[in-house]
């Protein structure tokens, strides 16, 4: 991010040559240092692209993008988002404009409150050609993207706007789905000042919305549905978008359950995005069944888990989980990861035919590949590999453990043995993690038994097949 860049205003434009200048001038008039404007032409058939290029040549804070095809406003906003450098982002439609002092009013609120992810404002209707009920107006205010300022990282966590072709019909809907997701996952606020001047035009999406709705008993009623709404296609497309968001954010949301291991909100959500994406891109190259969300959970607890002591991992194979643990403890400048493994693979995986593994098949061991992976990823100095069985290493163990990852033989007997051998060294408040719960029957049976001993253990988090329990005092 450019050091001086504060806010990026993305302006999607389709056949808006006659109104584009007015929108741009309303942004420039905010007179806020560190503002950039990104105009995205959505394959207009008028002179919009030429107008945008002309503005970009006159003002250094303006850049112009051209979509290769008319993909709709959602895709245009996402294209601008990918180019944006600001800490905050706004999405202003080309035929609308900002009222004076919008940025001056809301930006200090965002800068002074790390928990505040977005602010929406009131809307002034300009050139309204028909009556609009206050309840209809409220619904519109709650769905618009143009009356909104939001932290860029929050929009990135959502994955931007939905882009499917269904959202480009007369009912659109990409904006309300985006706003609903934003409201669900992030804390925001509303300002009643009418900082957006929304121009009402005949045949617009807003006009279509007014045609389909009425107000009865102070409730908004939809008296007409489009075909895509009737057959459920639009609902299904919205569900798919929400599922993708849930898959991306559920990991971070789950980590909220262990309050005293949680870093500040900005670090947990916004900085975590870049850590998660960067680490996933690097560590997914290491062979292993660990999902990247589970890996990030290991990173999180290696970095933030309470208490003093070592991190011990029982079973590692090629080192995929070790990389996540080592990266987490390195980020916090804490202890090394002690990995205990005979590096020949677990019995159930050998039975399943997944061994001998590649990379160490000739020697019958994965240790050379394990060490090579750590070396390649710059994590070798953060890992102490103890070659041997859990029994052999555990019989000689001394020292407190703050984080224990049980990921060896997944049979009931082996899981119970590993837990009984190693958990006695876990400090009060320490975290023990199991992988492949509800995947391997023996492990699952033991885990259920463990939770029934409620005076010793409390489940604090679950990510996919991974379960985290905390040792009670």
pLDDT at 256: 54
CB 90 within 8 A of CB 9: yes
- Sort 333 into a burial class: Cβ within 10 Å, 0-12 / 13-18 / 19+: exposed
Specify whether the backbone of 309 is left (phi greater than 0), alpha (psi in -120 to 50) or beta.
left
**CA distances for 277 relative to 186, 249, 292, angstroms:** 20, 12, 9
- What is the pTM assigned to this prediction? 0.62
Tell me, which fold does domain 259-471 have in CATH?
A: Rossmann fold (3.40.50)
Task: Name the 3-class secondary structure at 86.
Answer: coil
DSSP state of 232: T
The pLDDT tens digits along the chain (473 residues) read: 344 579 999 999 999 999 999 999 999 999 999 999 999 999 999 999 999 999 999 999 999 999 999 999 999 999 999 999 998 999 999 999 999 999 999 999 998 887 788 999 999 999 888 888 889 889 889 989 999 999 987 888 788 898 877 666 665 678 888 998 888 878 899 999 999 999 988 877 777 788 787 888 888 887 766 665 555 666 776 677 777 776 666 666 566 545 444 444 444 555 666 677 788 889 988 998 888 888 988 998 999 888 899 999 999 889 999 999 999 999 999 999 999 999 886 554 544 444 444 443 345 688 999 999 999 999 999 999 999 999 999 999 999 999 999 999 999 999 999 999 999 999 999 999 999 999 999 999 999 999 987 688 988 888 888 999 999 98
Q: Pairing relation of β-strands 466-471 and 88-91? A: unpaired
The total of other beta-carbon atoms located within 10 Å of residue 53's CB is 16
Beta pairing partners, 468: 433, 461
**Buried b vs exposed e over 349-371: b needs ≥16 C-beta within 10 Å?**
beeeeebbbebbeeeebbbebbb
pLDDT at 274: 67
Residue 79, phi then psi, degrees to nearest 5 = -65, -40
- Sort 274 into a burial class: Cβ within 10 Å, 0-12 / 13-18 / 19+: exposed
d(CA 106, CA 118): 9
pLDDT at 359: 40
pLDDT at 311: 97
Where does 7-246 sit in CATH, by number?
A: 3.90.550.10
Q: Where are the domains of the chain?
A: 7-246, 259-471
d(CA 278, CA 155): 18
Q: Distance from first CA to last CA of the chain, Å, rounded?
A: 45
pLDDT at 145: 92
State the residue for tokens 């030429």: 50
To the nearest 10°, report the CA torsion of 101, 103, 105, 109: 180
pLDDT at 357: 42
Q: Which residues contact 420 (CB under 8 A, 6 or more apart)?
A: none
State the residue for tokens 């905050």: 88
pLDDT at 200: 86
d(CA 315, CA 345): 8
Q: Which helix (H) or strand (E) holds 105?
A: helix 102-111
Q: Which helix (H) or strand (E) holds 426?
A: strand 426-434
Handedness of CA 233, 235, 236, 240 (dihedral sign): positive
pLDDT at 263: 40
368: tokens are 């050379």
pLDDT at 338: 97
pLDDT at 1: 37
Residue whose C-alpha is closest to residue 376's, from 287, 438, 253, 307: 287
Residue whose C-alpha is closest to residue 463's, from 252, 264, 313: 252
CA gyration radius, the chain: 27
pLDDT at 20: 97
Residue whose C-alpha is closest to residue 254's, from 213, 208, 294: 294
| Packing angle of the helix pair 292-304, 272-283 (nearest 10 deg) | 120
d(CA 237, CA 248): 17
d(CA 430, CA 423): 9
Residue whose C-alpha is closest to residue 249's, from 184, 179, 167: 184
To the nearest 10°, report the CA torsion of 47, 49, 53, 58: 50
16: tokens are 């808006």
- Sort 382 into a burial class: Cβ within 10 Å, 0-12 / 13-18 / 19+: buried
CB 163 within 8 A of CB 74: yes
CB 45 within 8 A of CB 117: no
403: tokens are 């984080």
For the sheet containing 466-471, what is the strand order? 383-387, 337-341, 310-314, 401-406, 426-434, 466-471, 457-463
Beta pairing partners, 199: 126
188: tokens are 């925001």
């Amino acid at each position: 991010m450019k050091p001086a860049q504060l806010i990026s205003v993305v302006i999607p434009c389709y056949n808006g040559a006659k109104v584009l200048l007015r929108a741009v001038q309303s942004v420039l008039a905010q007179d806020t240092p560190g503002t950039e404007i990104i105009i995205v032409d959505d394959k207009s058939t008028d002179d919009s692209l030429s107008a945008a290029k002309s503005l970009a040549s006159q003002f250094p804070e303006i850049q112009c993008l051209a979509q290769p095809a008319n993909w709709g406003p959602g895709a245009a906003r996402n294209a601008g988002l990918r180019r944006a450098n600001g800490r905050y982002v706004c999405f202003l439609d080309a035929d609308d404009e900002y009222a004076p002092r919008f940025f001056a009013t809301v930006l200090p609120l965002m800068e002074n409150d790390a928990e505040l992810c977005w602010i929406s404002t009131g809307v002034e209707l300009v050139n309204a050609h028909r009556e609009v009920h206050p309840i209809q107006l409220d619904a519109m205010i709650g769905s618009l993207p143009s009356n909104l300022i939001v932290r860029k990282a929050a929009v990135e966590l959502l994955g931007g706007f939905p882009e499917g072709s269904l959202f480009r019909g007369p009912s659109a809907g990409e904006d309300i789905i985006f706003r609903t997701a934003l409201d669900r996952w992030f804390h925001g606020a509303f300002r009643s000042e009418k900082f957006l001047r929304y121009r009402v035009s005949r045949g617009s999406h807003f006009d279509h919305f007014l045609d389909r709705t009425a107000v009865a008993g102070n409730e908004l009623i939809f008296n007409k549905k489009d075909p895509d709404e009737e057959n459920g296609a639009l609902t299904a497309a919205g569900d798919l978008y929400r599922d993708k968001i849930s898959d991306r954010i559920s990991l971070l949301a789950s980590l909220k359950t262990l309050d005293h291991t949680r870093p500040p909100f900005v670090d947990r959500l916004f900085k975590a995005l870049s850590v998660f994406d960067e680490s996933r891109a690097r560590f997914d190259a290491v062979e292993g069944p660990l999902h990247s969300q589970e890996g990030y959970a290991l990173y999180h607890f290696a970095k933030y888990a309470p208490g003093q002591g070592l991190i011990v991992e029982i079973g590692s194979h090629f080192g995929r989980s070790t990389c996540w643990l080592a990266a987490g403890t390195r980020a916090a400048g804490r202890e090394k990861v002690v990995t205990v493994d005979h590096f020949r693979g677990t019995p159930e995986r050998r039975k399943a035919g997944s061994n001998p593994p590649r990379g160490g098949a000739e020697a019958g061991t994965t240790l050379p590949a394990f060490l090579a992976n750590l070396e390649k990823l710059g994590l070798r100095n953060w890992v102490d590999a103890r070659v041997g069985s859990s029994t052999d290493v555990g019989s000689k163990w001394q020292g407190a453990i703050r984080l224990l990852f049980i990921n060896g033989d997944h049979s009931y007997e082996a899981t119970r043995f590993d837990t009984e051998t190693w958990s006695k060294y876990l400090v009060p408040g320490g975290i023990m993690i199991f992988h492949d719960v509800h995947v391997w029957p023996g492990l699952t049976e033991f885990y259920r038994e463990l939770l029934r001993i409620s005076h010793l253990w409390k489940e604090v988090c679950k990510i996919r097949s991974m379960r985290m329990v905390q040792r009670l005092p």
